[in-house]
Chain A
Amino acid sequence: MVDRAMGDKLARLVRTHEFRLLLATLALATGLSIATDTFLTAQNLFDLLTANAFAGILAAGLLVVLVAGGIDISFTATASVAQYLAMTAANAWGLDWASVFAIGILAGAACGAINAALIEGLRIPGIIVTIATLNVFYGLLVFTTGGRYIYALPDWFAQGIWWFEYVDAEQIPYGLNLQILLLVLAFAATAWLLNRTGVGRRIRALGGNREAARRLGFPVFGLNLLAYGYMGMMAGIASLAQAQLAQSVAPTVLVGRELDVLAAVVLGGASLNGGIGSVTGTILGLTLLAIMQNGLVLAGVSSYWSPFFTGLVILLSVSTAALEHRRRPASVGAAA
């Protein structure tokens, strides 16, 4: 009996989107480890994590919005605003870590709340609202700052955080830095929110069937406010990780990367129809895209081709997911 149950569980696991992603990721990683002697080095993996922390933290936030049945593409503008406000304040008033993060998180959450209020208040599609707010946040930021970069960051911020620092044979240091720490925290917080809290279950229910959630008396506006606010918070945190890595604040460099993040979350199995999406899947989606781009570079393919392969992987993924969905009998006549 126990064996049967285990077998069923295993069979179900094998059919999941996450499992296929895991296989693809492992196959790619194994191939790269054999083909190159630079891929499977602590240095390369450390660099990969650090370089992808910004997109990863944003992906954790976006997952919550997608699970709630919404969509947000304004978060790169939100991140630019949060970054600029936090670092300007840090320079002006000589703040510390906690205050800088508080300002970044609050600014981000405020932008997210504006999105939620517009979507729910005016009842227009999230894609239209966030295309508009992307341009409003970004346009106002560049207009008021004149597009000026901030190069002078406080010393403590420029130094960042280094825990368990280790220096390899070539004197290159690695360890747990600010970017990796924030990335891990972002995914842990998102997993806790979606899987371990009542609010998380309500957000998933809202995304699965909005009308049912409303009739059950769920606070639809409040849940949306939470989902978009959470996305904004993550944008604030990601923006500070990025500013520390780039050692500067540039109001114009983040906007334009929003669709890459959306691509990773969708590749991870989250559905634009809401209700579906997991932290594991999102991490795997991000990993697959990151390893693929890293692998192309290591294999000597020009980095100019990287967006093409990203597009190819997204199209293959959304097509197989749609075909899988169609094969299930329950989906006859499912909404587009």
Chain B
Amino acid sequence: MTGWRGLLSGAGDGTNRALLATIAAAMLAFGLVVGDGFFSFAAMRSMAFQMPELGILSLAMMVTLLSGGINLAVIATANLSALAMAWVLTGFVPGSEGPAWVAWQGAAIAAGFAVAAAAGLLNGVLIAYLRVSPILATLGTMTLLKGLAIGLTRGEVLSGFPEPILYLGNGTLLGVPAGLYLFAATAVLVAIILGRTPLGAAIVMIGSNEKAARFSGIDTRAVIVRVYLMSGLLAGLAALVMMARFNSANAAYGESYLLVTILAAVLGGTNPMGGAGRVGGLVLALVLLQVVSSGFNQLDVSPFLTLAIWGVILLAVTGLAARRAREGTV
């Protein structure tokens, strides 16, 4: 556990220690209130199945926050990408197994990622080259992508996918959901890109001071395009997992996730103004959010009250982080 955490976050910093302590406290509290049911196999499994899509979407949000931007279009990108995959899967995959059956499933995934990449590139070009503010650019693409999804499907649901695709959302390997392996691999990959490559260093520099980064010779525009391309591709991966888990795709799935993706990143120590953030913190924040939501769920607390509590947590955590930053005690 410590080795894995170390790989993701470098030397464990204050945020991660605090998150681990909070997770332990939350599990203890829910364990006492809910009883053994809280640690039941079913409860753990349901947590493990929900985590991958939310986790990958949060990574998609985090890389843009790190660069000093924001991607309000992550959910819209994921839905349009899922619809592209679903369209190929429901329209072209032949009924009988064979080479064409496999090839069309590959083509479906490729189509989804192509859509996600195009959405990411559009955001990147608008922000880096036309210098539209990230909030406005991604707000516009969010409306455009969602509009495209609604227009093409007339708001309908596409469903019914072949077995191998469904495995990604519902299958398990050694008792662990397949999606969780995918999320773990993605988190490690993003952690390596952000922490061990020149691109990652450039993203962090742009997030803390874009002008200084430009004057130190970094091609900031090319880096920003890559940030949004990466965010788009991550949304495409989340789309694959989400579509497989629901066995369907729709223009309006997962809209309440937008708050949660920002919450997970900020709770995990990502500075919403850019320049600082670790994947390890984000993973721990996701675990904490899942523990809290699962506990509330078993206590029959209304999901709307949970939504309100998450809003309060976001305010408290960001407020504390801003105060610590001002006092220079980070």
Give the CA-CA distance A312 to B147 in the complex, in Å: 9
Judge whether A143 and B68 touch: CB under 8 Å. Answer: no
Q: Is the CB of B132 within 8 A of A318?
A: yes
Chain B residues near A326 (CB, 8 Å)?
A: 130-131
A143 touches B308 (CB 8 A): yes
State A335–B70 Cα separation when bound (angstroms). Answer: 15
Whole-angstrom distance between the alpha carbons of A334 and B131 in the complex? 9
A311 with B135: CB separation less than 8 A: no
Instruction: Judge whether A132 and B312 touch: CB under 8 Å.
Output: yes
Tell me if A336 and B134 are in contact (CB < 8 A).
yes
Band of interface residues on A: 35 or more
Q: How far is the CB of A317 from chain B (nearest CB, A)?
A: 8
B310 cross-chain contacts in A, Cβ below 8 A: 135
Instruction: Please report the C-alpha to C-alpha distance between residue A165 and residue B95 in the assembled complex, in whole angstroms.
Output: 64
Asked whether, in the complex, the Cβ of B126 is within 8 Å of the Cβ of A124, the reply is: no
Decide if B142 touches A259 in the complex (CB within 8 Å).
yes
Q: Are A124 and B140 closer than 8 Å at their CB atoms?
A: no
Quick one: given A132-B259, A308-B148, A333-B211, are A315 and B318 in contact (CB under 8 Å)? no
**Within 8 Å CB of A334, what residues of B?**
131
Taking CB atoms, residues of chain B closer than 8 Å to A335 are: 210
In chain A between 280 and 308, which residues have their CB closer than 8 angstroms to a CB of chain B? 302, 304-308
Say which residue of A125, A139, A306 sits within 8 Å of B306 (CB atoms): A139
Question: A132's contact among B151, B302, B311, by CB below 8 Å, is which?
Answer: B311
Mark contacts of B258-284 with chain A using CB atoms, 8 A cut-off: 1 yes-contact digit, 0 otherwise.
110010001000001100000000000
Complex CA gap A334/B68 in Å reads 15
Interface centre among A129, A135, A142, A309 (most CB of B within 10 A): A135
A124 closest partner in B (C-beta): B318
Report the minimum CB–CB distance from A114 to chain B (whole Å). 10
List A contacts of B41 (CB < 8 A). Answer: none
Instruction: Pick from A136, A262, A325 the residue with the most CB of B within 10 Å.
Output: A136
| Chain A contact residues, majority secondary structure | helix
- Check A307–B130 contact: CB distance below 8 A: no
Interface presence of A118 (CB below 8 A): yes
Structural contact, A143 and B135, CB atoms closer than 8 A:
no
Query: Which residues on A sit within 8 Å (CB–CB) of B4?
Result: none
Which of chain B's residues have a CB closer than 8 A to the CB of A138?
A: 304, 307-308
**Given A306-B147, A323-B130: A140 in contact with B154 (beta carbons within 8 A):** no
- Residue A26 is within 8 A (CB to CB) of chain B in the complex: no
Q: Does B131 contact A122, Cβ atoms closer than 8 Å?
A: no
Q: How far is the CA of A336 from the CA of B141 in the complex (A)?
A: 18
Least CB distance from B289 to A in Å reads 13
**Interface-lining segment among B8-16, B20-28, B186-194, B319-327:** B319-327
Cβ-defined contact, A123 with B210, below 8 A = no
A88 interface contact, C-beta 8 A: no
Note all chain A residues with C-beta closer than 8 A to B131: 322, 325-326, 334, 336
Interface contact A318-B136, CB-CB below 8 Å: yes
Which listed residue (A125, A273, A314) contacts B273, Cβ 8 A?
A125
CB pair A127–B150 under 8 Å, yes or no, is no
Q: Once the chains are docked, how many angstroms separate the CA of A315 from the CA of B327?
A: 40
Question: Contact between B144 and A336 (Cβ–Cβ < 8 Å)?
Answer: no
* A325 to chain B: closest residue by CB: B131
Q: In the complex, how many angstroms separate the beta carbon of A181 from the nearest chain B beta carbon? A: 30
CB atoms of A311 and B150 under 8 A apart: no
Is A133 in contact with chain B by the CB < 8 A criterion? yes
Taking a contact as CB atoms under 8 Å apart, the answer to whether B147 and A305 are in contact is yes
Question: Quick check: is A319 within 8 A (CB to CB) of the other chain?
Answer: yes
Interface presence of B305 (CB below 8 A): yes
Contacts of B155 in A (CB 8 A): 304
Contact A311 B143 (CB under 8 A): yes
The verdict on B29 contacting chain A, using a C-beta distance below 8 Å, is no
B155 to chain A: closest residue by CB: A304
User: Is A307's CB under 8 angstroms from B150's CB?
Assistant: yes
B130 touches A336 (CB 8 A): no
Q: Is A304 a contact of B130 with CB atoms below 8 Å? A: no
- Once the chains bind, are B304 and A139 in contact (CB under 8 Å)? yes
What is the chain A residue whose CB lies nearest that of B126?
Answer: A319
Q: Which of B292-313 contact A (CB under 8 A)?
A: 302, 304-312
Contacts of A322 in B (CB 8 A): 130-132
Query: How many angstroms between the C-alpha atoms of A143 and B318 in the bound complex?
Result: 25
Minimum distance in angstroms from A323 CB to a CB of chain B: 6
Alpha-carbon distance A125/B272, docked complex (angstroms): 8
| Cα of A122 to Cα of B136 in the assembled complex, Å | 24
Closest to A260 in B: B143
User: Could you give, for residues 59-93 of chain B, a 1 whenever the CB lies within 8 Å of some chain A CB and a 0 otherwise?
Assistant: 00000000011100000000000000000000000
In the bound complex, residues from chain B placing their C-beta under 8 Å from that of A118 are: 315, 319
B75 → chain A, closest Cβ, in Å? 12
Contact B307 A314 (CB under 8 A): no
Give A147-178 as 1s and 0s: 1 = Cβ < 8 Å from B's Cβ atoms.
Answer: 10000000000000000000000000000000
B319 partner residues in chain A, CB cutoff 8 A: 118, 121-124
* A123-B322 in contact given A139-B304, A312-B144 (Cβ < 8 Å): yes
- The answer, yes or no, to whether B166 is at the interface (CB within 8 Å) is no
Q: Are B272 and A135 in contact (CB under 8 A)?
A: no
Decide yes or no whether B146 CB sits under 8 A from chain A. yes
Contact between B154 and A302, CB atoms less than 8 A apart = yes
* A304 to B218 Cα, complex, angstroms: 43
Residue among B131, B140, B151, B307 with max Cβ neighbours from chain A (10 Å): B140
Q: At the interface, yes or no: B145 with Cβ under 8 Å from chain A?
A: yes
Cβ of A263 under 8 Å from chain B: yes
B137 at the interface (CB under 8 A from A): yes
Q: How far is the CB of B125 from chain A (nearest CB, A)?
A: 10
Q: Which residue of B lies closest to A118 (CB)?
A: B315
26 contacts between A and B (CB under 8 A): A118-B315, A124-B272, A124-B322, A128-B262, A131-B314, A132-B318, A134-B311, A136-B308, A136-B311, A136-B312, A139-B305, A139-B311, A143-B302, A256-B255, A262-B139, A272-B133, A272-B136, A307-B151, A308-B148, A312-B144, A315-B141, A315-B144, A318-B126, A319-B126, A335-B210, A336-B127
Q: Nearest 3 A-B pairs (CB), nearest first?
A: A311-B144, A308-B147, A139-B308
